[in-house]
Structure 1
Amino acid sequence: MRITYLPFEFLINRRPLSVQANPKRLQQWKNFVRSEAQNVWQGNSPIQDANLQLTLVYLCGDSPPDIDNIIKPIQDALVGLVFEDDSLISDVDGHRRFLSEPIKKKNLPFLLQQGFLNAQECVYVKVSESQPLEKYL
């Protein structure tokens, strides 16, 4: 089954918070992520029956949080908006790259290119349908 509004992608133009952050600040972060996603989500309702892949690319400056600690809050923020439950996420790709690193931007998704051009910390988020396991290996 092909879901027509996937892949879904957006850019969070802010330094992410770790799952280990103060609970109040973490909830504010999740609310912010959700509002950014709502600005571009085209689906009428959350996806209910699919195996999904969540891809994050964190463009960071100095002393960034661990990539694995920023995934869960972003994933949680999309529950009920993009997908009904985070149990639909079968695959997760998390990437962290320093803004100071030389990176060939030509073949990157447009939003990720924009993140590099802005030269400020941000997170590129993409939700797509999972692929067969052999495509990842």
Structure 2
Amino acid sequence: MTRFEFIVDGPPVSQQNRDRGKGNRREAWQNTVKQEAKKYWSSEQKIATGWVMLQITYFYDSDQMDVDNIVKPIQDAMKGIAYVDDKQVSDLLVRKRNLLDLRKKDTTSILAEGFARGKEFLHIVVIDAPNQEVST
């Protein structure tokens, strides 16, 4: 795997969500993430078997979520699509950016697609993890 990126309409569902009444919202969100990832997955791409870095950017218009609560449902949803198991995620970058205050430059075509939709979305990227060495 070199790079796999896709977008999902937001807002995301938090890891903290415990909605059991009208169906599990977190499970439904994970299914949405899986479906969107599969739309962007190319048959030429190979599922990662080594360490990966997961980058998630939530482009919002009303900030209602802590970034740490965004990660786990997305990370779990990607199992079997971009990587074999979420234990392969060795590096993680999670950001929130306000759509109203954003200056866009150097966007990929997929990220530009998200902006063109004109509403909240998440941009998710899985790449090979950087070198595993630690320097002090």
TM beyond 0.5: yes
Structure 2 match to 1:8: 4
Residue 133 (structure 1) shift? 6.0
CA distance in 2, matches of 1:132, 1:45: 20
Structure 1 match to 2:42: 42
Contact map agreement 1:19 1:26 (CA 8 A) in 2: yes
- Cα RMSD after superposing both structures: 1.9
Letter of the structure 2 residue corresponding to residue 46 of structure 1: I
Q: Deviations over 1:103-132 (max 9, x none)?
A: 1x1212222233223221000000001113
Structure 2 match to 1:33: 33
- TM score, norm. by length of structure 1: 0.84
Letter of the structure 2 residue corresponding to residue 34 of structure 1: K
Instruction: Point out where structure 2 has 5 or more consecutive residues left out of the alignment.
Output: none
Instruction: Point out where structure 1 has 5 or more consecutive residues left out of the alignment.
Output: none
Does the residue aligned with 2:91 lie in a helix, a strand or coil?
strand
The percentage of aligned residue pairs carrying the same residue is 31
Letter of the structure 2 residue corresponding to residue 80 of structure 1: G
Matched, 1:20 2:16: yes
- TM score, norm. by length of structure 2: 0.85
Alignment size in residue pairs: 128
